[in-house]
Amino acid sequence: MYQYTEFDKQFVRARAAQHRDQLERFQSGQLSSDEFKPLRLQNGWYVQRYAPMLRVAVPYGEISAAQLSVLAKIARDYDTPDAELLAEAQTTQDKLPGVAPKLTTNYGHFTTRQNVQFNWIPLSQSADVMDLLATVNMHGIQTSGNCIRNTTTDELAGVAVDEVVDPRPYAELIRQWSTLHPEFAFLPRKFKIAITGALEDRAAIGWHDVGLQMVKNAAGKVGFKVLVGGGMGRTPVVGSQIREFLPWDQIMNYLEAVIRVYNRWGRRDNLYKARIKILVKAEGQRYFDEVEAEYTQIVEKDGGVHTVPQAELDRVSACFRAPSLNLPQDNPAWAAKAEADVSIEAAKTPAFARWIAQNVVRHQNPALRAVKLSFKRVGQAPGDATADQLDAAAALVAKFSAGEARVTHTQNLVLPWVRLDQLHALWLEAKVLGLAQPNIGLLTDMIACPGGDYCALANARSLPLAAAITERYQDMDELDDLGHIDFHISGCINSCGHHHSGHIGILGVDKDGKEWYQVTLGGSDGKELSGPTVPGKVVGPSFSSFEVPDVIEAVLNTYKALRLPAQGRHEYFIETLRRVGQDPFKAAANAARHPAVDAQTA
Amino acid sequence: MKIITTPEHQAVESPAMLVLANDVDPRTLDLNGVTRIDLVFPKFTDGRAYSQAFLLRRRLGFAGELRATGDVLIDQLVHMQRTGFDMAVLKDGVDASAAQRQFDRFTGFYQGSAVETQPPFAKAA
């Protein structure tokens, strides 16, 4: 992991002090609500439906055991509304039709952008929480607001077997460059960068304002393929390639050009047309030409001062060397034996075998594996972790993964440094904690935003639907049989639940003050199994919350009826969908409507 | 960076000053003889004037006064100073007493700016 220097540490502390100063000025009336809002947002403090929400930055998803422990402490000691507020919130939620889980407190929530959120911390305690975060080099810098957000990356960065270049040092360089950039703190809209260094895109780069794919050119030089103008929201757009090859040391100069032209030209008259995707769509080549011209000026007239020196890359890269783990030195025989032992154990214990198949992935080091802990289970919202679970996860990370984990885009945790000979012990401990559900990549490993239970922007709740599907599909054999399915739920068009990229996507919409849901099919985040990045297509008019679980079941039954064998397995859902098209799925979904319930609730 | 009030801002009229709307490209201007340029923040969340200031100072080498006007609040001042402004007209009613400590808080930043052009890694090299 990146090791914070004294400069980095005091910077985070100064930022916490700045937030305290702003909070105090707000409390004393020197700052109005409207003036305070963009300031607190840039430290991750939203005000939600009932209480503030804090979004803590986890730069490119990499998090230490010590940091997880502090998040546990925050969940336990601060994520608590007063009883009256909670009771009032619950009463309000209970008035909504349909069965829904109760509101919960004292937990952290892993987000699709690899950050961690809390939903109940009183704003008056926000400065204390920022001080506490700063003790482990954490903060909420630019996790919200119209600025450059946390850079996300491949959850397997640095360990993936298909990696060309480890993207983490570059993600860290981008983090530093974008932190409190004076010119780009008040952009037309938020700005998200994703970077991958592997052959397969596991970072959904096509869906970002800037997507970076690390490549080596014919001469073996490292650089970036640069996409620009991707984004979800009301108008889903896949990013366009603006540069086939940008030398690695030019990344800051080039981002400066991309964002300066956006800052100057991006629309500010309409919130829904302010993202860079709209500018890129409207201006196309003219925008690209302006960026290239600006980049040339930055290098030639301004002297290219942000060209990254080799020494700086080396300094940062040194932090990302693989941990030693006391493995027997250079011993393929040891690894082979350890792998054989895992196979023997798996043969004896089918549940362990299933976990290995579903939740454990190969590693650059043959003696190691990356392990995915599932935070998708009955009784908890997707990606939620209680204080105790965060503490327990911290202990697992410390014991089995060299003290380092990754928050994943699918709202789980990856332990990237697990020894083969410790897999079974890890499984046993994770199982007791309820973190070993072998459902990674399956239907119940769904993405869901907090939705209308917490979020002030949501048109509809996400969590009751997530719970209904999780409860309906608990049979592991059935889930296994359904195979890999990206199931994504967003409570509103802001698309925090990435419904556009789901093989099956659900979007909450508001009609006459009631919750309705659009179903989309065939979206892709750009990974191999999902195919080229594309938004899903809407299946007819929206459904009521009562209908959605039956609609999902009808769609899945259609898949089971139509799928063909493929390479020793049956086709995945997305493969069948691509082969036969949307029509049979649409017909099944529409046939699953409940006309009687519609009449009652209309 | 000097911070002034609206009356102080209005006190001096100079023929050698320009007022630029924030959608003007400063590279299209004739800056000959211009000693002061007022840039405008119609809302403090509209950050276009930061890019104008940067281009004027860094790209065009403008050495006169760059003045921030409009919706200018305490927490923008450091950004303004770093993008090349040297004068800011605080919005009416804003208490200036909280301003100075904002400049003292951070001992350094990660990027080069219009004023301190070299980023830390360039200085270290």
Question: Is residue A578 within a helix (H) or strand (E), and if so which, with residue range?
Answer: helix A573-580
Do A152-314 and A457-601 share a fold? yes
Q: How far apart are CA A362 and CA A432, in angstroms?
A: 24
CB contact under 8 A, A182 and B48: no
The CATH classification of domain A457-601, taken from the options 3.40.50.300, 3.40.630.30, 3.80.30.10, 3.30.413.10: 3.30.413.10
Question: Which of B 1-20 lie inside 8 A of A, CB atoms?
Answer: none
Looking at 3.90.1580.10, 3.30.413.10, 2.40.30.10, 3.40.50.620, the CATH number of the domain A152-314 comes to 3.30.413.10
**Which candidate in A7, A176, A186 is best for mutational testing of the B interface (most B CBs within 10 A)?**
A186
d(CA A269, CA A259): 18
d(CA A147, CA A43): 11
Are β-strands A384-386 and A368-373 bridged in parallel, bridged antiparallel, or unpaired? unpaired
Give A263's contacts in chain B (Cβ within 8 Å).
47-48, 50-51
A146 vs B: CB within 8 A: yes
The CATH architecture one would assign to domain A334-433 is: 2-Layer Sandwich (3.30)
For A11, the closest chain B residue by CA position comes to B106
Cβ-proximal residues to A412 (8 Å cutoff; 6+ apart), any chain: A110, A372, A373, A374, A375, A376, A383, A440, A445
Which pLDDT tens digit goes with each residue over A86-98? 999 999 999 998 8
Q: Which parts of chain B fold into alpha helices (H)?
A: 6-11, 48-54, 77-83, 100-105, 120-124
Q: How far apart are CA A485 and CA A112, in angstroms?
A: 16
pTM: 0.96
Interface check for A268 against chain B (CB to CB < 8 A): the answer is yes
Contact B110 A176 (CB under 8 A): yes
Stronger pLDDT, A328 or B110, i.e. the higher one: B110
Max CA pair span of chain B: 46
> Where along chain B do its domains lie?
2-124
Predicted pLDDT at A330? 67
The label of the residue with tokens 């080596």 reads A216
Contacts across the A-B interface (CB distance below 8 Å): 104
The predicted-structure confidence for A333-376, as pLDDT tens digits, reads as follows 899 999 999 999 999 999 999 999 999 999 999 999 999 999 99
Q: What are phi and psi of A15, to 5 degrees?
A: -65, -40
B2's CB contacts (< 8 A; 6+ apart) are: B86, B87, B88
Mean pLDDT by 10 residues, chain A (602 residues): 97 98 96 95 93 97 98 98 95 90 95 96 97 98 97 98 98 98 98 98 98 97 98 96 98 98 97 97 98 98 97 98 85 91 97 98 96 97 97 98 98 98 98 97 97 92 96 96 98 95 97 92 97 96 95 98 93 97 97 72 45
Q: Work out the minimum CA distance from A264 to partner chain B, whole angstroms.
A: 6
Query: How do beta strands B65-70 and B36-41 pair?
Result: parallel
Chain B residue with CA closest to A264: the answer is B48
* A186 and B CB contact within 8 Å: yes
- Chain A residue with CA closest to B115: the answer is A182
pLDDT for res A188: 98
Distances (CA, A) of A144 to A66, A113, A276, B75: 24, 11, 16, 17
The reported pLDDT for the residue numbered A596 is: 64
Sign of the dihedral through C-alpha A173, A279, A242, A250: negative
Residues in chain A with CB shorter than 8 Å from the CB of B75 are 22, 39
A177/B45 Cα distance (integer angstroms) = 21
List residues bridging with A215 in a β-sheet.
Answer: A223
Identify whether the C-beta of residue A420 lies closer than 8 Å to the C-beta of residue A369: yes
Q: What is the predicted pLDDT for the residue at A602?
A: 42
Q: How buried is residue A95: exposed, middle or buried, by Cβ count under 10 Å (0-12/13-18/19+)?
A: exposed
The minimal CB distance from B48 to the residues A176, A181, A264 is found for A264
Interface residue A187 vs chain B (CB under 8 A): yes
Q: For residue B52, give the chain A residue with the closest CA.
A: A264
**Most B CBs within 10 Å: which of A264, A298, A299, as the mutation test of the B interface?**
A264
Poorest-pLDDT segment among A539-543, B92-96, B121-125: B121-125
Domain ranges of chain A: 6-134, 152-314, 334-433, 457-601
CATH homologous superfamily, domain B2-124: Aldolase class I (3.20.20.70)
Q: Taking 80 as the threshold, does the pLDDT of residue B5 lie above it?
A: yes
Check CB contact of A461 with chain B, cutoff 8 Å: no
Q: Residue A487 — φ and ψ, nearest 5°?
A: -115, 115
Least CB–CB distance from B98: residue in A14, A25, A186: A25
ipTM tops 0.95:
yes
Q: A302 CB near a chain B CB, below 8 Å?
A: yes
**Which residue from A183, A260, A305 is facing B119, i.e. has the nearest CB?**
A305
Inspect the interface and report whether the beta carbons of A306 and B50 lie closer than 8 Å.
Answer: no
For A547, other C-beta atoms within 10 Å of its C-beta total: 21
Using an 8 Å CB-CB cutoff, list chain B residues near A146. 45, 47
A167 three-state secondary structure? coil
Q: At what angle do helices A285-300 and A276-283 cross, to 10 degrees?
A: 110
Q: What is the pLDDT of residues A39-62, one digit of tens each?
A: 999 999 998 999 999 999 999 999
